[in-house]
Amino acid sequence: MPEQQWNSALYEKRHAFVFGYGQGLVELLAPQADEVILDLGCGTGQLTYQIAQSGARVIGLDHSETMLATARQNYPELRFVQGNATSFALDEKFDAVFSNAVLHWVTEAAAAAKCIAAALKPGGRFVAEFGGRGNVSNIIEATQMVLRQYTGHDVPHGWYYPSIGEYSSLLESCGLEVTQAWLFDRPTPLEGEAGMRNWLTMFAERMFVELNAAQKEEALTEIEMYLRESNYDGGQWYADYRRLRLLSIKQGSIAVSGS
Ligand code: BEZ
């Protein structure tokens, strides 16, 4: 499957809800002034900045140089580094690893979980939210149904949407204890009459690679037509997001002062 390409300007303009919703996750993280925190998949840096407001020292890590360039421009006082969720190894250990709306892009989930566990201090926490089991299922179903007419086969969507059980087992196998987990629907408004088309163009581009430009336009119109039944209400498009949110703690002894 081709790699997702990111347009940081469009992402900031049309998809600001991604970091808007992330604010609740920062509350679950509850960053403290003396902590060192890694923002895994920091994108354009808005949540990295918000975490830094607590006084914690935060490093933002992202795979995309385009996103990092915008993050550095937005917040020149913060540190942003390039790295891949499945292979990163930084010099220091963290009190917490935070990740919002990123891990559904990481199909090599076991490799990412290993890196996250290795990056944490004993007792350190991993706080994450991303698409969970059933995420955007209407969008996927309509897109695959329409694309099948052009390609003759089921086009893979390429995202990773685990259940609570599946992801918790994975984290436990890496020495992280899951203390809280939620799977919940979050229908997410998309901006404007072209909201669904823009979402598909921005995030599902990889599914359309076998189509030429004219076929793509035609397919998008047909997908919109199907989704109008399920994902359009009162003049507003919605993405049928389903979030997996969890808090986990790295096992191992923590130094207790005075002991
Ligand atoms: C999500 O946040 O759930 C998501 C975003 C883009 C593509 C797929 C899922």
Q: Which CATH number do you get for residue 25?
A: 3.40.50.150
The answer to whether residue 25 sits within a structural domain is: yes
**Average pLDDT value for residue range 11-18:** 63
173: helix, strand or coil? helix
Mean pLDDT of 193-210: 96
195 in any annotated domain: yes
> Average of pLDDT values for 132-136?
98
Closest atom of ligand 1 relative to the 135 alpha carbon: 3
Question: 52-61: per-residue pLDDT in tens?
Answer: 999 999 999 9
How many A from CA of 137 to the centre of ligand 1? 11
61 CB less than 6 Å from ligand 1? no
Planar angle of CA 26, 236, 23, nearest 5 degrees: 5
Amino acid 195 reads G
**Does residue 3 fall inside a structural domain?**
no
- pLDDT: which is higher, 256 or 158: 158
Q: How many helices (H) and strands (E) does the chain have?
A: 9, 8
Mean pLDDT (the chain) is 94
Nearest-atom number in ligand 1 for the CA of 241 is: 3
On whether the CB atoms of residues 231 and 39 are closer than 8 A, the answer is no
Domain that includes residue 45, residue range: 8-250
Report the domain count for the chain.
1
The whole model's pTM is what? Answer: 0.91
- Residue 203 in contact with ligand 1 by CB distance below 6 A: yes
Contact 188, 101 (CB under 8 A): no
Calpha distance 40→188 (Å, rounded): 23
Q: Give me ligand 1 centre to Cα 131, in Å.
A: 6
The ligand 1 atom nearest the CA atom of 242: 3
43 falls within a domain: yes
Per-residue confidence (pLDDT) for residue 172, from 0 to 100: 98
Smallest CA separation from ligand 1 atom 3, residue: 131
Q: Is the pLDDT of residue 255 over 80?
A: no
pLDDT of residue 43: 95
Tell me what percent of the residues of the chain surpass a pLDDT of 70: 91
Whether the per-residue pLDDT at 188 is higher than 60: the answer is: yes
Is the pLDDT at 9 greater than 90? The verdict is: no
**pLDDT tens digits along 147-187:** 999 999 999 999 999 999 999 999 999 999 999 999 999 99
Other C-beta atoms within 10 Å of 78: how many? 19
**137 domain-assigned:** yes
Q: What is the three-class DSSP state of 182?
A: strand
Q: How far is the CA of 256 from the centre of ligand 1 (A)?
A: 40
